[in-house]
Amino acid sequence: MRHDPLDPAVFTAHRRRLVEVLPPRSVAIVHAADILPTNGDGTLRLHPAGDLFWLTGIEQEESVLVLAPHAVDPAQRETLYLRQPTEQTAQWEGVKLDQERATAVSGVARVRWIAELPAALHALLADADVVLLNANEHERSNTDVEPRDLRMARRLMERYPLHRYERLAPLLRRLRAVKDDVEVGLIRHAIDVTDAGLRRLCRALRPGVMEYELEAELLHEFTRRRTWMGYEPIVASGGNACVLHYVDNMAACRAGDLLLVDVGASWANYSADLTRTYPVGGTFTARQRAVYEAVLRVLRASVERTRPGVTLREWKRAAQVQMAQELVGLGLITPEEAAADTPEKPACRRYFMHGLGHSLGLGVHDLAPLDGPLAPGWVMTVEPGIYIPEEGIGIRLENDVLVTESGAIDLCSHVPIEPDEVERLVGA
């Protein structure tokens, strides 16, 4: 791992929170992610499974956590199973976790090799009524590839058909939405690294520079600070900024255009997610500034509305209503169109067609209940935008916000966003 070691007490506390909501006489099973193939004998770098990491801090393939709070022997109530290291794996793949090191990382006292899992599970299930199995139930997940969790679910259901099976994902969705102080600190660090990357990019931004050269500036800063890209960065100049998921990053930045950068560093698997829009030549035109300030006003007001008890639908809807009025002021829609605004057909949809934000944490789109309500400890992105393809203008601004009892804390308040400070940053 690149990041500093985390206190295992964090993961112990997370497991305790989960155990408190498990049904009686149950066994919960959580797997590591698969190493995915590319071409030939190639593979992608392992991306740690968010649920397993949240519960244990383990970032190694073929790892399994088994929780059995009802077990008669207290030592068997939580067990971590690992791939057993060999001389061959050490030679070809590097040092793997041994049992002592796994306990130091996770706080799980009982660590066994993965070959022991079938017999151990059989003994636990003989005295259990409920089996909780995990799955990726994110509302936008790609389910074309069957993961380890579902492969085990199929085997267990065939072998133990009379047990009651329940979903673990809804419990973890609710628990992981609420970040503790350590998690918020990791996100803050990822934001600080992202800020440094954006400042480095701005020093290289000039007419004629290629989008991929600016991406390289971000990667340089992230790598030297021991972080990864939290997701594929968007570095989109001119009309490319109107493509919401543009990741080619291959065009030249032209004088007079805007550059939209959507990027986040990942530190200890916790991601930042920021978007800034910069004038390539160092100065906004009057029209660009007017659109920019409209987006900024919606951002500021939406941050203020990020409060406990607000549902995500209410939160998004308030931004849509405000954005419609901004679009009237910009001459993009008529007052009559704004007056006809409804939740089903928002008047802003042609120019602001995406959501207002999402939960942030272990991954850029972290788990959270679909409609909230917002609660203290949630970390949300706030990302309004206006996209005008016919004018070659795409502006999105995005900050990461912590929900507290008394309202919102903008975790990105130190990252330049006011148009005057943005112009100074680019022109420096």
pLDDT digits (tens, 9 = 90+) for 50-86: 999 999 999 999 999 999 999 999 999 999 999 999 9
In a domain, 35, yes or no: yes
What is the predicted pLDDT for the residue at 260?
A: 98
What are the residue ranges of helices labelled H in 57-116?
A: 87-93, 99-106
Shared domain check, 283 and 218:
yes
What is the predicted pLDDT for the residue at 428?
A: 66
Shared domain check, 192 and 140:
no
Given 152, 176, 200, the domain boundary residue is 176
What are the residue ranges of helices labelled H in 20-113?
A: 50-56, 87-93, 99-106
In a domain, 392, yes or no: yes
Shared domain check, 235 and 159:
no
CB 138 within 8 A of CB 367: yes
Per the structure, how many domains does the chain have? 2
Q: How far apart are CA 177 and CA 237, in angstroms?
A: 34
Shared domain check, 374 and 302:
yes
Rg (CA), the chain: 24
Instruction: Tell me the per-residue pLDDT of 134-164, one tens digit each, with 9 for 90 and over.
Output: 998 888 887 777 889 999 999 999 999 999 9
In a domain, 3, yes or no: no
End-to-end distance of the chain based on CA atoms, in angstroms?
Answer: 36
Share of residues in the chain with pLDDT > 70 (%): 100
Q: How far apart are CA 325 and CA 320, in angstroms?
A: 9
Shared domain check, 140 and 209:
no
What is the predicted pLDDT for the residue at 122?
A: 96
Shared domain check, 161 and 252:
no
Shared domain check, 295 and 332:
yes
Shared domain check, 191 and 167:
no
Given 176, 205, 235, the domain boundary residue is 176
Q: Which domain holds residue 81?
A: 8-176
Stretch 253-269: mean pLDDT, rounded? 98
Instruction: Tell me the per-residue pLDDT of 274-321, one tens digit each, with 9 for 90 and over.
Output: 999 999 999 999 999 999 999 999 999 999 999 999 999 999 999 999
Shared domain check, 161 and 303:
no
CATH code of the domain in which 234 resides = 3.90.230.10
pLDDT at 23 exceeding the cut of 70 = yes
What is the predicted pLDDT for the residue at 138?
A: 84
Shared domain check, 249 and 119:
no
Instruction: Tell me the per-residue pLDDT of 225-251, one tens digit each, with 9 for 90 and over.
Output: 999 999 999 999 999 999 999 999 999
Instruction: Tell me the per-residue pLDDT of 331-353, one tens digit each, with 9 for 90 and over.
Output: 999 999 999 999 999 999 999 99
Shared domain check, 418 and 298:
yes
In a domain, 2, yes or no: no
CATH code of the domain in which 121 resides = 3.40.350.10
Shared domain check, 157 and 202:
no
Q: How far apart are CA 332 and CA 202, in angstroms?
A: 30
